[in-house]
């Protein structure tokens, strides 16, 4: 399927929609997921247009993975999580809901079940605080 440039992450990348931004450079944007599956759920979004991993430019993938690692470590430090899940979904049957490539960094806490995917809306004040704290650790 073709990339749809009207998807919500494309709008956020263009600055047409707000986000709880953690970090941005010429290749990627990092922001808090507003429907967090766990406290500290963060998204890394390469700027290069692709629906998902399957149609991504390998060069864009090579550029983004070190940033995913940095974000995972920063999120783990800030949240004091016991582990980090890395998730990335390709097409709707696999769970993808926004069709612009992104990587989920989801903290795991001992004894806590993972929340549902893209369900409860996070608190904006808490998301803003987390964004600033993760940014400070990057
Ligand atoms: P996926 O299902 O892998 O496509 O993930 C899309 C993710 O984007 C979900 O976890 C949603 O909670 C999240 N999401 C949707 N809209 C927004 C938004 N405006 N800002 C931040 N996260 C969003």
CA of 92 to the centre of ligand 1 (A): 13
Is the separation of the CB atoms in 85 and 106 below 8 Å?
A: yes
Q: Sketch out the chain's domains with CATH numbers.
A: 8-137 (3.30.428.10)
Q: What is the pLDDT of residue 114?
A: 83
The conformation of residue 84, written as its DSSP 8-state character, comes to E
> How much is the pLDDT for 57?
97
Q: Are 117 and 95 in contact (CB under 8 A)?
A: yes
Residue to substitute in 34, 44, 95 for testing ligand 1 pocket (most ligand atoms within 8 angstroms of CB): 34
Q: What is the mean pLDDT of residues 44-56?
A: 98
H helices of the chain, in order, are 8-13, 58-79, 124-137
Q: Is 127 in the pocket of ligand 1 (CB under 6 A)?
A: no
How far is Cα 116 from Cα 137, in angstroms, rounded to an integer? 27
- Which pLDDT band, with edges at 50, 70 and 90, does 23 fall under? very high
Give the model confidence (pLDDT) of 57-107 as tens digits.
999 999 999 999 999 999 999 999 999 999 999 999 999 999 999 999 999
By alpha-carbon position, which residue is closest to atom 22 of ligand 1? 33
0.75 exceeded by the pTM?
Answer: yes
Q: Which helix (DSSP H) or strand (DSSP E) does residue 2 occupy?
A: none
């Amino acid at each position: 399927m073709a990339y749809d440039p009207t998807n919500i992450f494309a709008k956020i990348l263009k600055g047409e929609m707000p986000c709880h931004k953690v970090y941005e450079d010429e290749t990627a944007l990092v922001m808090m997921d507003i429907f967090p599956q766990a406290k500290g759920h963060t998204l890394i979004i390469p700027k290069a247009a692709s629906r998902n991993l399957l149609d991504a430019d390998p060069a864009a993938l090579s550029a983004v993975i070190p940033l995913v690692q940095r974000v995972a470590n920063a999120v783990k430090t800030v949240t004091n999580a016991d582990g980090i899940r890395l998730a990335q979904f390709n097409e709707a049957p696999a769970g993808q809901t926004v069709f612009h490539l992104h990587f989920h960094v989801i903290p795991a806490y001992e004894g806590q079940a993972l929340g549902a995917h893209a369900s409860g809306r996070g608190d904006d004040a808490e998301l803003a605080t987390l964004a600033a704290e993760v940014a400070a650790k990057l």
